[in-house]
């Protein structure tokens, strides 16, 4: 099996090379992202391996299909960048539903603690031998109410971490986890009651801009917003307006809705054209990390192992348990239960 690997970063090469060699899968690493212009690089390969900021829309899928590519192997959980409906009948699509929920959940808590205890500011001050505590007052997490939007694997790990801090937990999910001991409420109630809100849900048409100029009005004044899921869950302009109006007390962002041409690259010494991102970063109560919540050694190994497993399963038995198939209308749960190919 020969795979064209797009949007390669240095940290990808080792884990994927090791797992690929052990399974007889050969990766050709390309630095450019997958787009309509770069799809031709995949000519002659069995499949492509892509990440969150690669593009697999209808045009790209058609080009890959015409080049003889048989499948798309996502090395992430989210698939909002893939036109799964258009891929049906052309390309099989696999993803990595779980690689390390601990990595993302722990990063979300790290961002929260850094923000409310001013750790990033203290680090900069003490490096200049400034040991003043002026402006460094934070607040206890114990007893605060945290609203968790999305209670999949990552959301539930984050809930467990919050329980360790003695926080009051409420949650919203369109499909509540049964017998999980989680206090589910409506989204409007969650917005109104929460001192802290953390987003852990996938990006869909329904969740796009679920925090927007109207729902910001429902928030408890001074709320801390955390997003380690997908940037477009939050309308960045509405978030900025909420911060400026003092409704939102702080924001901790590992994702941004227009990140695809910015994140994972070094723009130090350059002028970034995205005025909204520039204004967010300039705010003293905003922390932005560059989509690194997944980036732990354990997660990288699990991502590579699962991705290679998806590829070999498809090659050996013709099906893959982690296939995303539009055939039955439910992308992640096929009625055929992966016993045979949908096409």
What's the CA gap between 64 and 42, in Å, rounded? Answer: 7
Please state the φ and ψ torsions of residue 230, each to the nearest 5 degrees: -135, 140
Q: Which residue in the list 230, 257, 305, 323 is annotated as catalytic?
A: 230
DSSP 8-class letter at 107: H
Q: DSSP character for 225?
A: E
Q: Which of 134, 157, 158 is nearest to 146 (CA)?
A: 158
- Of 75, 107, 257, 259, which residue is the catalytic one? 259
Structure tokens at 47: 């499949």
Instruction: Give the sign of the dihedral formed by CA 178, CA 180, CA 181, CA 187.
Output: negative
Q: What is the side-by-side order of every strand in the sheet holding 145-149? A: 168-172, 145-149, 196-199, 223-227, 248-253, 286-288
Residue 305 designated active-site: no
Is 259 a catalytic site residue?
yes
Q: How far apart are CA 89 and CA 110, in angstroms?
A: 43
Q: Note whether 161 and 112 are within 8 A (CB).
A: no
Residues 6+ apart with CB under 8 A from 22: 308
> Catalytic: 230?
yes
Task: Spell out the residues 6+ positions from residue 9 whose beta carbon is closer than 8 angstroms to its own.
Answer: 264
Q: Are 2 and 26 in contact (CB under 8 A)?
A: yes
Using N-to-C axis directions, what is the helix angle for 101-116 and 153-164, rounded to 10°?
40
Cross-strand bridge partners of residue 186: none
Tokens of 331: 């992308």
Check 153, 156, 200, 291 and give the catalytic one: 291
Q: Annotated catalytic sites, by residue?
A: 230, 259, 291
């Amino acid at each position: 099996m020969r795979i064209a690997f797009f949007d390669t970063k240095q940290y990808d090469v080792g884990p994927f090379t090791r797992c690929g060699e052990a399974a007889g899968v050969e990766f050709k690493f390309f630095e450019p992202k997958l787009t309509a212009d770069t799809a031709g690089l995949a000519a002659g390969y069995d499949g492509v391996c892509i990440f969150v900021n690669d593009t697999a829309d209808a045009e790209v899928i058609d080009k890959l299909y015409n080049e003889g590519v048989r499948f798309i192997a996502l090395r992430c959980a989210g698939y909002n960048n893939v036109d799964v409906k258009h891929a049906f009948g052309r390309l099989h699509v696999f993803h990595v539903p779980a690689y390390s929920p601990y990595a993302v959940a722990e990063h979300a808590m790290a961002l929260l603690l850094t923000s409310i205890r001013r750790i990033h500011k203290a680090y900069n001050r003490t490096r200049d031998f400034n040991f003043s505590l002026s402006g460094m007052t934070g607040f206890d997490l114990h007893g605060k109410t945290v609203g968790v939007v999305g209670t999949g694997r990552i959301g539930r790990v984050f809930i467990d971490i919050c329980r360790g801090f003695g926080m009051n937990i409420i949650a919203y999910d369109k499909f509540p986890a049964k017998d999980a001991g989680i206090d589910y409420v409506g989204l409007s109630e969650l917005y109104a009651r929460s001192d802290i809100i953390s987003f852990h849900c996938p990006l869909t048409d329904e969740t796009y801009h679920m925090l927007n100029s109207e729902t910001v009005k429902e928030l408890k004044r001074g709320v801390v917003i955390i997003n380690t899921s997908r940037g477009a869950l939050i309308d960045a302009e509405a978030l900025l307006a909420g911060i400026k109006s003092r409704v939102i007390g702080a924001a901790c962002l590992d994702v941004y809705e227009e990140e695809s041409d910015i994140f994972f690259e070094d723009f130090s010494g350059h002028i970034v054209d995205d005025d909204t991102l520039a204004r967010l970063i300039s705010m003293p109560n905003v922390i932005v990390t560059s989509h690194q919540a997944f980036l732990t050694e354990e997660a990288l190994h699990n991502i590579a192992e699962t991705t290679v497993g998806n590829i070999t399963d498809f090659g050996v038995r013709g099906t893959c348990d982690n296939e995303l198939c539009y055939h039955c209308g439910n992308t992640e749960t096929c009625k055929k239960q992966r016993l045979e190919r949908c096409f």
